[in-house]
Amino acid sequence: MIRFNKPYMTGKELLYIAQAHNNSVLAGNGEFTKKCEQWLTTRTGVVKSIITHSCTGALEMAALLADLQPGDEVIMPSYTFVSTANAVVLRGAIPVFVDIRPDTLNIDEKLIEQAITKQTKAIVPVHYAGVSCEMDTIMDIATRHNLWVIEDAAQGVMSTYKGKALGSIGHFGAYSFHETKNIISGEGGALLVRDAAYANQAEIVWEKGTDRSQFFRGEVDKYTWQTVGSSFLPGEVTTAFLWAQMEEAETITKGRLNIWNRYHMAFSDLEDNGLCRRPIIPNECQHNAHMYYLLLPSAEARDATLSKLKQNGVGAIFHYIPLHSSPGGMRYTKMSGQLIHTDNLSRCIVRLPLWYGMTEEMIEQVISTTQNVLKDVVSKV
């Protein structure tokens, strides 16, 4: 079976972990944490980057920094990972779902304005598959309505929109370094802070609501409880691992893009013959090959394709059960209008194995098996 995902190791991870061990600093906010933060800040052009234990944690930090209150509304897609919504619900605020665009499966920016009410405080665009949402339009709406923009860029490390790093465009951006993402540390994430006005506050929220970071820089003579925060830091063993990955981020991204492009060319015939639809990348977006998916013509064709692919040794999978149709979603969220594309497309998606380190034979096998299965299955259902 060709695995859906296999974490790539650069070979330097254990060396850097040994260094962290030798430094005798294993808690968070040490040398490797600072290296990783500097790398992100330089790459993305934000004022401040903060390494967290997860993207989930980074989203929770953003919800705290935006001072979301019970009853506040936050606009987001339903077609996303549960953490996008949970961060908001933890503050007592209400996720309000709008439909996605059929081309990118990203939030449909044209539907955002009609979802805005007096309670609306923020918009959370999710950059699905590392392909950017229509950020110029979203930032314009946010400015006119005085809303926060928190980018869920979990899948978007190394991707850009009009040359700008994803996660650096809104007020806050959240990255994931979970082992299923492109650049990894097992569990891990980062919060990007665009404006200097929130940099100190972000550090305080990160360090359990204290000014410990300022204390270590000698800016205050003791550290004390300042505001509501939590422990969002990873330990140095994790950031030592992450540093090895950041050093190779360009190579990993290029390697993934090669596989993505191979798939994309190979499946163009299938699309021409109406057997599936391939991903669409808008011109202003440079993506990071986080994911390769195909959209099948129907839910029946999708289910049949998935099981046939697995029978033939290709570890294909699907996601997401849209949040609005999950038990948690029904309890904690609202919908704005019908979520037609969310419902339809989430039932038609097949995600193919894509990871740096796949051999030539594996890539060929995924391609030929997928071609055969689709020709067989779609003509029958």
Ligand X SMILES: *Cc1c(COP(=O)(O)O)cnc(C)c1O
List of residues contacting ligand X (CB under 6 A): 54-56, 80-81, 83-84, 126, 152, 154-155, 176, 178, 189
Q: Looking at beta carbons only, is 80 or 245 nearer to ligand X?
A: 80
**Cβ(347)–Cβ(305) below 8 Å:** no
Considering the complex, what minimum distance in angstroms separates the CB of residue 190 from ligand X? 9
Considering the complex, what minimum distance in angstroms separates the CB of residue 54 from ligand X? 3
Q: Looking at beta carbons only, is 176 or 245 nearer to ligand X?
A: 176
Q: Which of 3, 35, 48 is nearest to 309 (CA)?
A: 3
Q: Looking at beta carbons only, is 126 or 295 nearer to ligand X?
A: 126
**Mode of pairing for the β-strands spanning 148-152 and 172-176:** parallel
User: For residues 314 and 376, what is the distance between their CA atoms, to the nearest angstrom?
Assistant: 16
* Contacts of residue 341, Cβ cutoff 8 Å, sequence gap at least 6: 99, 100, 101, 102, 105, 108
Considering the complex, what minimum distance in angstroms separates the CB of residue 189 from ligand X? 4
Considering the complex, what minimum distance in angstroms separates the CB of residue 126 from ligand X? 5
Q: Looking at beta carbons only, is 49 or 80 nearer to ligand X?
A: 80
Considering the complex, what minimum distance in angstroms separates the CB of residue 83 from ligand X? 4
User: For residues 237 and 235, what is the distance between their CA atoms, to the nearest angstrom?
Assistant: 6
Considering the complex, what minimum distance in angstroms separates the CB of residue 12 from ligand X? 22
Q: Looking at beta carbons only, is 55 or 61 nearer to ligand X?
A: 55
Q: What are phi and psi of 284, to 5 degrees?
A: -80, 0
Q: Looking at beta carbons only, is 58 or 374 nearer to ligand X?
A: 58
Helices 236-247/13-23 angle, 10° precision: 140
CA distances from residue 9 to 249, 251, 355, 362 in whole angstroms, order as listed: 11, 12, 11, 18
**Cβ(237)–Cβ(186) below 8 Å:** no
Considering the complex, what minimum distance in angstroms separates the CB of residue 176 from ligand X? 3
Q: Looking at beta carbons only, is 238 or 369 nearer to ligand X?
A: 238
Considering the complex, what minimum distance in angstroms separates the CB of residue 178 from ligand X? 4
User: For residues 68 and 46, what is the distance between their CA atoms, to the nearest angstrom?
Assistant: 23
Q: Looking at beta carbons only, is 155 or 226 nearer to ligand X?
A: 155
What is the per-residue DSSP string for 213-267? HHHHTTSSSS--B-SS--B-PPPHHHHHHHHHHHHTHHHHHHHHHHHHHHHHHHT
Considering the complex, what minimum distance in angstroms separates the CB of residue 236 from ligand X? 18
In sequence order, the β-bridge partners of residue 293 are 351
Residue type (1 letter), 339? L
User: For residues 33 and 104, what is the distance between their CA atoms, to the nearest angstrom?
Assistant: 34
Neighbours of 188 (CB within 10 A): 27
Considering the complex, what minimum distance in angstroms separates the CB of residue 180 from ligand X? 7
In sequence order, the β-bridge partners of residue 75 are 96, 123
Q: Looking at beta carbons only, is 178 or 256 nearer to ligand X?
A: 178
Q: Looking at beta carbons only, is 72 or 152 nearer to ligand X?
A: 152
